A and B are shown apart, each in its own frame.
Chain A
Amino acid sequence: MLKLFDKVRAGIEKPSAVPNAVITNRISRLNVSSLKNISPDEAFIVSIQHLQADPLEGRFLLSGRSDGSILLHQIKNISPSLTYQCKRLWKCGKHDKEGHRYSVECIRWFPNDTGLFVSAAFDKRLKIWDTSSMRCVETISYEGKIYNFDLSPAKRSDNCSVAVCCDKGIVSVFDIKSGTNVHTLKHHVGDVLACNWSPLDEHILCTGGADNKVLLWDTRSAKNCLMSLNRSNSIQITISNPCVNNFTAHSGSVNSVKFVKNGLKLISCGTDNVIRLWDTLSGKNELVDYDDFVNHTKRSVHVDISRETTPEFIYVPSGDTVNVYNVATGELVNKLKGHFNSVNCCFYEPFQCELYSGCIDGLIMVWRDESTEVVAF
């Protein structure tokens, strides 16, 4: 650290390297938080399917549960005391008029502000919620169960499209502004379990399905997918007729995909207990080996990446632990042990450098580095 200060003073490193180094240092020492916790408020166990904190200031945490309820917690500690019990601000249960009937599989904030969030569930409905009145403002019905969806990062602030992954191989693109389905992407056979928009180009979408395939799409082209990723790196059959190829990315169903390194690379996790790193432009397998990964979930698994750290880290739920890998080298940096059952999702909250993970046992765990805080007071 002192060396780094010297380097910054001498002009060898940029000043931005200091916060980077501090964040990296903090992240590498994540542990179960003893000061902050989110208590489960039900007497019975309800599995957490997905959770996400709001992208603006990391103050509100949304979580979707397998009984169809959606919960909103305040996670930012604004009181002077160190210990903090996260308050539940709002709940929409199964028996509420506007709520989901079955398991809420995915829930996401609108990327630009906290005025909106979107949720999807196994009751074949996608709901858009207004946070000022906490009401559902729009319900869209689909033909199949919804496993996952993703909101495009929307560089032009008003245009946000939602890619919705349904069963029977259908991915439909929904435009929030006009409130209609604008596109249906059909190539997968079987359930589509994962999708992610590229942060590099707002029209590039990646999907992964139960047919072991990872497909890259350009939503502007009406024809077909851009490419199907091939694990054995043999020559790509050109895009003119990708239907012919039966390249598979994994030997088990793909239940998580995520763009890393600003969209230049792509990570996919499969039920064959393998994580693969791909080059997005060429579609080549980077052949990085991520050790000690277990994945048996038939539904989608939500992974997350760290922000503003010098080696990029990825948080992957693996059995009852959360594994932290170095994206570039595949080195297992940390293994977060604490859950009692298999972990479904994790979310990295960049403002306070915390990790939230949701599990089948109904607990949301907070992982943070508290060694510095205790010393400071």
Chain B
Amino acid sequence: MSKRKVDDNSSSSPLKKKTSHSSTAENQNEILPEVSINDTEAALNFIKQTLADKKRKDSFPAVIFVHQLYDVVNNKTIVNRQLETLRNEKKIVLIHMGSDENMKVAVFLKDLKDHVLQYRNVGEALLYNKFFDRVLTNTTDYGISRNDLLIKFKFSEKDVRAMVNAGLLILRETGIFWFSFPSAGIFMRKIIKGRQALMNLIRKRKFREILQIELEKIPMRKQLELPIRYHIHDLVGGNFVKCFQTSSGRLLQSIR
């Protein structure tokens, strides 16, 4: 009985608070159309901001999934092309996460650099700088071969090992490294865990759908280690949920 009472209280409290929340909800609604412009760099910065909202110390730099951008910018072709130009301008680095074609991550080169120099072994700063300035600015691919590293860029075996330890390179096949970022595994674990938690929540709803504003209000501190906005962009852009525009904001419906 006591439990029920608590439930009743919790369910009634949002109703009471609704009036006070409505103003903030409107504010939140206003943000979204503002960024639905055809500029991928702005979209990248927008999603990056959602990560920076919380005062947390992450062991990984601010990374953005490419499919999260599809949620913000309507036209996928524009996103793909602008990412390509940004990559050619050496502003961002595109990183493959796993063998799945859709799991691509974009990170600003400056962010990656700052993060590595701040948190990693300071004694090897010279090596990292060399890596950023020469390797990442001279290749436009997801990876690099060992031969190129050793011969073209004149790294030693020990240097390569140090960079693998720092999480900047990851062994893909024999002799081929893919670029990566520090603590990529922790990041992936967090995102997958959060994605599952949110999907379970939406699936258990009536008609498997929920308003985005409602979803953002649900306290899920424990399940979600990343900000909820970041997760919602991930769900919508990655085609895990369908998205409908209603008069009271976006409605998210789980597929299948």
Contact = CB atoms under 8 A, between A and B. Distances in A.
A272 B141 CA distance: 21
B81 A287 contact: yes
Nearest to A251: B101
B84 interface: yes
A232 B77 contact: no
B5 to A, nearest CB: 48
A233 B88 CA distance: 11
B140 A234 contact: yes
Given A251-B101, A272-B101, A289 B80 contact: yes
A234 B84 CA distance: 10
Contacts of A234: 139-142
Contacts of B139: 234
Interface string A13-36: 000000000000000000000000
A270 B101 CA distance: 13
B120 interface: no
B205 interface: no
A234 B77 CA distance: 18
A289 B141 contact: no
A288 interface: yes
A313 B181 CA distance: 41
A233 B77 contact: no
Nearest to B101: A251
A291 interface: yes
A232 B142 contact: yes
Given A251-B101, A272-B101, A232 B141 contact: yes
Interface in B59-91: 75-77, 80-81, 84
Nearest to B141: A234
Contacts, number: 27
Interface string B104-146: 0000000000000000000000000000000000011110000
A292 B142 CA distance: 26
B45 to A, nearest CB: 21
A329 interface: yes
Given A251-B101, A272-B101, A233 B84 contact: yes
A55 interface: no
Looking at chain B, what size class is its interface with the partner chain? 10 to 19
Contacts of B77: 287-289, 329-330
Interface of A is mostly: loop
A232 B84 CA distance: 9
A234 B75 CA distance: 23
A234 B140 CA distance: 6
A235 B101 contact: no
B142 to A, nearest CB: 6
B84 A289 contact: no
A235 B140 contact: yes
B195 to A, nearest CB: 21
A233 B141 CA distance: 8
Contacts of B141: 232, 234-235
Contacts of B81: 287
B101 A291 contact: no
Contacts of B140: 233-235
A235 B142 CA distance: 12
Contacts of A233: 84, 140
Contacts of A287: 77, 80-81, 84
Interface in B138-175: 139-142
Nearest to B70: A289
Interface string A324-337: 00000110000000
Nearest to A330: B77
Contacts of A235: 140-141
A289 B139 CA distance: 24
A34 to B, nearest CB: 32
Contacts of A274: 101
Contacts of B76: 289, 291, 330
A287 B142 CA distance: 16
A291 B67 CA distance: 13
Contacts of A251: 101
Nearest to A289: B76
A235 B77 CA distance: 21
Interface string A264-275: 000000001010
Interface string A310-330: 000000000000000000011
B87 to A, nearest CB: 9
B67 to A, nearest CB: 11
Contacts of A289: 75-77, 80
Interface in A198-241: 232-235
| Residue among B75, B80, B142 facing the most chain A CB atoms (10 A cut-off) | B80
11 contacts: A233-B84, A234-B140, A234-B142, A235-B140, A287-B80, A287-B84, A288-B77, A289-B77, A289-B80, A291-B76, A330-B77
Given A289-B76, A289-B77, A291-B76, 10 more contacts: A232-B141, A232-B142, A234-B140, A235-B140, A272-B101, A287-B77, A287-B80, A287-B81, A329-B77, A330-B76
Interface of A: 232-235, 251, 272, 274, 287-289, 291, 329-330
10 nearest A-B pairs in the assembled complex, by CB-CB distance:
A289-B76, A234-B141, A287-B80, A251-B101, A289-B77, A288-B77, A287-B81, A330-B77, A234-B140, A287-B84
Interface of B: 75-77, 80-81, 84, 101, 139-142
